[in-house]
Structure 1
Amino acid sequence: MKRKNTLSLLLMLVMALVIVGCGGTTEPKQEEKNGQSATPTTLSVGLIPAETKISAETLEKFRAYLEQETGLKVTMNNYPDYNGVVEALNFNKLDVAYLGPLTYVIAHKKGGAQAIVAKTAKGVPFYYSYILVHKDSKYNTLEDLIADKQNVDFAFGDPNSTSGSLIPGMELKARGVYRGKQDSDFKSITFTMAHDVTALSIQNKKVTAGAIDSAYFDKLVEKGTVDGTQFKKIWQSEKLFQYPFVVKKDMDAATIEKLQTAFLNLKDKEILDAFAADGFVKATHQDYEAIEKAAEADGRLK
């Protein structure tokens, strides 16, 4: 009888363990329910090379600020080109990234990245693409430039730049003088890979004309990197929504809120100047739908 009771108790114990085990596998974690990863303890931040001369000291100050405001360990990563940041984000090598509008919609399409804040310049989250020439240039309008296209050395920025490539490139395509990197009616096409290089190339008369981000150009003039009196603007785009900071697809809501709060409270001029910004506002993917449509029309989203 004692042996029978012992076997019964053992059987009941095994059944209880099985039930508990099954219960643990059928009830997903809260993060899994919401399609989010667990709250991270570290953040890896990647930056596009919109401007080539952000000092190591400024980047360290920015890293320390984010670390203090979020309570998470933060690492900062500079990339040599726009596409490198997109790929790192899509392959989960980055948690947060600073992107141009075009690179953001590409990252969203490829890997589900989400915009959380956008910078402001002159108090608004908009900017323009400019085509500039030297003040001594005989060209006063884009029409003048195109009429003499065979003598024009034209500079774009990074191929994945919104204001330095996509938008001005579409304008020149619409006017029938530009079809791609290796196919245009200009004397030459150059990709400088950064807005400050484009501006300096125009100022030093190394190129005839160039496409540039209006906010970065204004900041370069303010800092004395270039002399604003040495330029003429011969074309300006419609307004574009500003550069965002984005997070990877499955970032948890609590971390997103911490990051948004940190950016909205950022007042340090040295850090803001590094991004040609005077502040940040919240942003969503909807803010970039116009850029997304332009990228689709230009065959950039596949």
Structure 2
Amino acid sequence: MKMRRLILLLSALTLIVSIAGCGNGEEEEPFQVGVVPAQNKGDMKQAMDKLEKKLSDGINRPVEIKIHSDYQAVVEALKYKKMDMAFLGPLTFVQARNATGVNAIVTQLIDGKPYYHSYIIVPEDSELDSMEELVKNSENVRFAFGDPNSTSGSLIPSIALKERGVFQSNQKHQFQELTFTGSHDVTALSIQNKKYDAGAIDSAIYDQLAESGKIDKDRIRIIWKSEKLFQYPWAVQKEVDQQTVDQLRKTFLSIKDPEILNVFGASAFTKAENSDYETIRKAAKEAGRLEVGSTGE
């Protein structure tokens, strides 16, 4: 009789432990999201906390958003499957897609349009008033790109300058000085304060910096504007299932919170496809900015 009770007790304990184990096993790992700030990342924290909650409710799963210091850090994290989704510049997206097969699902609208431009800006009192004048006087110009992996702050303007014969590489160029500031806001302030004579910047971020009072438009002039560029995408790993993709898109498209939208300079979000970035992919390939031998696509 005692033996039977002991067996029943052990069975009950085993069942309890089993149930407890199943409960722990059902706790999902957070859906990891990486964001590369186009400006000072300190300004993004509160908005990202809100977005984290919004996405978590949308996909019914914990979401963890991490702000990364640069584009390359996010590409590496995607390569090693340390994140499920990332907010990337167009150039970084095509590089990540080339390496890992990530898919664009959403982008932002700026004043109702999913496009932006690359600008070259100069101090307001500069004698340079056009791309032609910049090229003609390149030997006396201190030029600033943004992040080396930025579409509007590096890739597109470097191609334009290369076509005009004043830029071949970071080491081979006809400028008095060439530098990378690392971000669009630093570029804008550097031009405003005449640290450099000309610089490349994202048009939407330029407008956002002016509207927020971080730069003074009256102290800066735009002397060159690129063709339309499709806005920054949110991209997911190719392993992310279609249901989650649909939920993410639905959630982004429903966002009305101005604090979340403003940090991206957005009026709203809209659907994006890989094909939207084909022009950037071709430009990156021609400029030698895609890894050779990748199996991502």
TM-score scaled to structure 2, two decimals?
Answer: 0.86
Alignment of 1:81 with 2:88, yes or no, is no
Distance, in Å, in 1 between the alignment partners of 2:109 and 2:46 is 23
Q: State how far apart, in whole Å, the 2-side matches of 1:168 and 1:94 are.
A: 30
Asked whether 1:177 is paired with 2:156, we answer no
Q: 1:264: which partner in 2?
A: 253
Structure 2 residues without counterparts, runs of 5 or longer: 1-27, 293-297
Report the AA paired with residue 68 of structure 2. Answer: Y
Q: Which residue of 27, 35, 38 corresponds with 1:47?
A: 35
Q: How does 1:49-198 map to 2 (within 5 A)?
A: 49-53=37-41, 54-198=43-187
CA distance in 1, matches of 2:54, 2:190: 34
Aligned partner letter, 1:243: Y
- Give, in angstroms, the shift of residue 42 of structure 1: 2.3
The structure with the largest alpha-carbon Rg is: 1
Q: Once the 2 structures are TM-superposed, how far is the Cα of residue 179 of structure 1 from its aligned partner?
A: 1.0
Q: Is 1:118–1:281's contact at 8 Å kept on the other side of the alignment?
A: yes
The within-5 A match list for 1:188-227 is 188-227=177-216
CA distance in 2, matches of 1:195, 1:69: 31
Query: How far off is 1:52 after superposition?
Result: 1.6
Distance 1:267 1:180 in 2: 42
Distance, in Å, in 1 between the alignment partners of 2:148 and 2:214 is: 23
Distance in 1 between residues matched to 2:37 and 2:182, nearest whole Å: 8
In 1, the alpha carbon distance for the partners of 2:182 and 2:281 equals 22
**Alignment partners' CA distance in 2, 1:219 and 1:229:** 15
Tell me whether 1:235 sits opposite 2:197 in the alignment. no
Displaced runs of 4 or more, over 6 A:
none
SS for the counterpart of 1:179 is coil
Q: Please give the per-residue CA displacement for 1:167-215, whole angstroms capped at 9, x wherever unaligned.
A: 0000001111111112211011111111111111111111111100001
Q: TM-score, normalised by structure 1?
A: 0.85
SS at match of 1:133: strand
Paired residue type of 1:65: K
Identity of aligned residues (%): 49
Q: Report if the CA contact (8 A) 1:90-1:248 is conserved.
A: no
Gaps of 5+ in 1: 1-39
State the 1:132 CA deviation. 0.4
The CA deviation string for residues 51-71 of structure 1, in whole angstroms up to 9 with x for no partner, is 124332222122122122222
The 3-state SS of whatever aligns with 1:257 is: helix
Alignment-mate amino acid for residue 84 of structure 2 = D
Counterpart CA distance in 1 for 2:218 and 2:58 is 40
